[in-house]
Amino acid sequence: MDRRALRSRLERATVALAGGVAAVAGSYLVVGESPAFVAALIANTTVTLAPSFLVTFAITVLGDLGSQLAYWSGLAATAATLGIVVAVARIAVRRLDRPLAAPLAVAVAVAVVGIALSGSAASAVGAAVGAALVSTVVDLRTPGDRKSADRTDDSRRAVLSGAVAVAFGFLALGGRRVLATDRGTDEEQVPIPDDVAAMLEDARAKSFDVEFLEPLVSDHFYTVDIANVDPAPAREDWSVRIHGAVGEETTYTFDDIDAMDHDHRFETLRCVGESLNGRKMDTAVWTGVPLMDLLDPADLQGDYVMLRAADGFYEEFPVDALETGFLAVGMNGRPLPREHGAPARALIPGHWGEINVKWLTEIEILDEPATGYWEERGWHGTGPVNTVAKLWAENRLDDGRVEVAGLAYAGTRGIERVEVSVDGGATWTDADLSDPLPGDDVWRQWVYRYDPPDGAHEVVVRATDGLGTLQPEDQRRAYPNGPSGWVSKTIEPGSL
């Protein structure tokens, strides 16, 4: 193949890929990051099919960056797929000297594939319009231009197609943010119930006034999901089925749950895959009903339970853990957000976040133990959460002292004390603890202020749980049983 032919093919490929990018952007503008998003299927499949070692590497080494890379890889794969569709459609009509033929063929082809990928006519139309827009713009030439088309014209079209795709992408992103803001306004105006407002005020009053320290009710609650695009079950369509080793199979709709008396609880969640001093540990006020209120009528006859979710996630653990379990439908006085499992999720006190299944749809009682989603990938985080004292804030006070602070958590065992060493663990002093919030599964803040020595020094923190057990010293990585060990940091007072 000569250089001119190769260059021509590359330029056509650029136009096709630009059409694929614009198709993804068009679908996003119409439906956003919903299950109807044309990229959702491929983006989620890239995670499902990823080797276990790669998923573990992304979680333990890359953290949030790993999730972002997985998401953008899914978008790129979708754009490439739709780009191939655009290329095939344009090749099919390339011999026709009709400017509208290619855009029309592109629109039809992308719409058909878009429906297959998303199951949504609206999403497919958005994708078709985006792809057709690129094709239309690059083919807008006069009859004289078309007769004298050369390599320069091909290059111009390739550059123009890329520019149009990028511009349309930014337009879709900005437009979608405006639409999302408009949709969230009504929900944000719903008054917070008085009893929840009182709990939030109690948490604010008990929170230390320490710069850079997370309050007792988190400002931003972490999220971890197995899918790049979260499900969005409608309340009116949602139900949870209780089946398996039960005396009577039972199904509850959202209206059934809504008609029950609701409780409000402080609950802390911690991710099994976070780093030792990571920030995937947060607390909220959750609203819902005790799980046993739903399970008792079913007459449980097995010793194990498998929770299943709308996103395909599933997790198994002993049925005894459900005794204090909770079905949450609200968070901090608002309806449960989509990213936290709306319309309903499970909360299992004292256990790692992975078994607090979001978008809950099934509770299957089992006679024998089974393997959950993460256990199939080598993790073993279904047991009680490890004790930890985190060091999240270091401040230089006006009087010259250094202030260090953080949060400590031990699941339902509670926190009895936090100790701080400013000499690398040679000597220890008790830190001040925040007054405990109501509840059995809640973290506590700690703060310690001291006169710093000259130069850099190592600060170490450790916690003792409510049973009197000291947090283990030896550091252990997150995989496979969750991180553990004492947190330490080198403090240089002059840099604070």
Whether residue 55 is predicted with pLDDT greater than 60 in this model: the reply is yes
Same domain flag for 19 and 147: yes
Whether residue 12 is predicted with pLDDT greater than 90 in this model: the reply is no
Q: Which of 116, 123, 43, 113 is nearest to 76 (CA)?
A: 43
Whether residue 149 is predicted with pLDDT greater than 50 in this model: the reply is no
Beta bridge partners of 405: 393, 447
How far apart CA 312 and CA 363 sit, in angstroms, is: 13
Same domain flag for 352 and 404: no
Instruction: Confirm whether 174 is domain-assigned.
Output: yes
User: Could you tell me the two tokens for 16?
Assistant: 């096709």
Same domain flag for 426 and 317: no
State the pLDDT at residue 348. 97
**pLDDT digits 0-9 by tens, 192-249:** 999 999 999 999 999 999 999 999 999 999 999 998 899 999 999 999 999 999 999 9
Tell me the DSSP string of 47-89: HHTS-HHHHHHIIIIITHHHHHHHHHHHHHHHHHHHHHHHHHH
184 pLDDT band, cuts 50/70/90, is very low
Instruction: Confirm whether 383 is domain-assigned.
Output: no
**pLDDT digits 0-9 by tens, 399-415:** 999 999 999 999 999 99
Residue 368: alpha-carbon gap to chain centroid: 31
Instruction: Confirm whether 98 is domain-assigned.
Output: yes
Per DSSP, the three-state class of 10 is helix
In order of 423, 424, 452, 459, 490, the CA distances from 456 in angstroms are 10, 11, 9, 10, 6
493 pLDDT band, cuts 50/70/90, is confident
How far apart CA 395 and CA 455 sit, in angstroms, is: 15
**pLDDT digits 0-9 by tens, 104-129:** 888 999 999 999 999 999 999 999 99
463 pLDDT band, cuts 50/70/90, is very high
How far apart CA 395 and CA 288 sit, in angstroms, is: 39
- Nearest 5°: the CA angle 113, 114, 120 is 135
* CATH (domain of 474): 2.60.40.650
Same domain flag for 360 and 400: no
Same domain flag for 326 and 440: no
Same domain flag for 352 and 234: yes
Same domain flag for 169 and 65: yes
State the pLDDT at residue 190. 76
Residue 43 or residue 302, greater confidence: 302
State the pLDDT at residue 174. 63
**Residue 249 near residue 242, CB atoms below 8 Å:** yes
Instruction: Confirm whether 48 is domain-assigned.
Output: yes
Instruction: Confirm whether 261 is domain-assigned.
Output: yes
Residue 358 or residue 47, greater confidence: 358
State the pLDDT at residue 187. 56
How far apart CA 345 and CA 215 sit, in angstroms, is: 24
Residue 377 or residue 13, greater confidence: 377
Instruction: Confirm whether 382 is domain-assigned.
Output: no
Same domain flag for 304 and 236: yes
Same domain flag for 63 and 157: yes
Instruction: Confirm whether 190 is domain-assigned.
Output: no
Residue type, 42: I
* Domain C-terminal end among 377, 403, 419: 377
- Phi/psi of residue 253, nearest 5 degrees: -95, 170
Percent of the chain with pLDDT over 90: 66
How far apart CA 430 and CA 446 sit, in angstroms, is: 9
Same domain flag for 23 and 172: yes
End-to-end CA distance of the chain: 63
Whether residue 182 is predicted with pLDDT greater than 70 in this model: the reply is no
User: Could you tell me the two tokens for 28?
Assistant: 């996003």
Residue 145 domain boundaries: 3-185
* Domain C-terminal end among 332, 353, 377: 377
Q: Which of 122, 130, 109, 119 is nearest to 41 (CA)?
A: 119
**pLDDT digits 0-9 by tens, 272-316:** 999 999 999 999 999 999 999 999 999 999 999 999 999 999 999
Sign of CA dihedral 185, 191, 193, 194: positive
* CATH (domain of 373): 3.90.420.10
Sign of CA dihedral 406, 390, 320, 378: positive
Question: How many other C-beta atoms can be found within 10 angstroms of the C-beta atom of residue 81?
Answer: 18
* Domain C-terminal end among 348, 377, 406: 377
Q: Which of 251, 211, 260 is nearest to 445 (CA)?
A: 211
How far apart CA 241 and CA 256 sit, in angstroms, is: 12
Same domain flag for 305 and 370: yes
148 pLDDT band, cuts 50/70/90, is very low
Instruction: Confirm whether 208 is domain-assigned.
Output: no
* Cis amide prior to 453 (ω within 30 degrees): no
Cα torsion through 372, 376, 380, 385, rounded to 10: -40
Per DSSP, the three-state class of 92 is helix
Same domain flag for 217 and 334: yes
**Residue 224 near residue 64, CB atoms below 8 Å:** no
Number of separate domains in the chain: 3
